[in-house]
Amino acid sequence: YAGAEKWVPRDGGMRKLRATIGDCRGCDLWKDAERSVPGEGLVRARMMLVGETPGDHEDKEGHVFVGPAGQLLDKALVEAGIERSEVYLTNAVKHFRFELQGKRRIHKTPSAGQIDACSPWLQRELAIVKPDLVVILGAVAARSLMGTGFKVTERRGEAVKLPDGRAALATVHPSAVVRSQNFRRDFAQFVDDLRTAASLLD
């Protein structure tokens, strides 16, 4: 893929970013998705949470984390004492990737090539928001932000640094908790990681 570089504005703020992202042709995901879904939340947030890609609901509604994973994330944020309105929420990849099964659109994990193609948008959001802490939600966000070789399963809940030195903490993706066979345990661990993240900001 050519990558998003060419479409990402070099200057300006969130308004300009949001106005240009729909034109991106940095990989092939724009073709089948309904729309691009940029991040949302407080532009001056101290905490930025980075998920994977919009899902079916997000693609239809045009907002991040409004489907089942988003509802779980909302509950976990409340339990961890974090206000959704005070953070910035985004995804590593801005268009929905899916496979058709009959009429149903089944989420597919974006490829490494698509994650890397879309990373200039995420990097631009980081440059605009300048969060003090980035919460990495799952392996796709980890690939985008930490490169290859970083294993969320081994490092979750730990204070780490992005390659640019910014403070970060990795945890699982909320959709992994939604699907968990041991929901109570995995939800509690997810909340614990978010609490740790909040404590890093104190």
Question: Interface residues with ligand URA (CB under 6 A)?
Answer: 51-55, 58, 64-65, 67, 69-70, 91, 175
Q: How many residues does the chain have?
A: 202
6, 65, 81, 183 from 72: Cα distances, Å = 35, 9, 14, 11
93 binds, among ligand SF4, ligand URA, none (CB under 5 to 8 A by kind): ligand SF4
Q: Indicate the residue among 38 and 70 with the shorter CB distance to ligand SF4.
A: 38
Q: Which residue, 120 or 188, has its beta carbon nearer to ligand SF4?
A: 120
**Residue 122 CB, nearest distance to ligand SF4 (Å)?**
9
Q: From the CB of residue 156, how many other CB atoms can be counted at a distance below 10 Å?
A: 20
d(CA 144, CA 152): 12
4/133 with CB nearer ligand SF4: 4
Q: List residues near ligand SF4 by CB under 6 A.
A: 4, 21, 24-27, 29-30, 36, 93-95, 117-118, 121
**Smallest separation (angstroms) from ligand SF4 to the CB of 23:** 9
Residue 94 buriedness (CB in 10 A; 0-12 / 13-18 / 19+): buried
Report CA-CA distances (Å) from 197 to 14, 37, 158. 24, 25, 9
Which residue type is seen at 70?
G
Q: Specify the residue, 58 or 193, whose C-beta has the smaller distance to ligand SF4.
A: 58
- Minimum CB separation from ligand SF4 for residue 194, in Å? 26
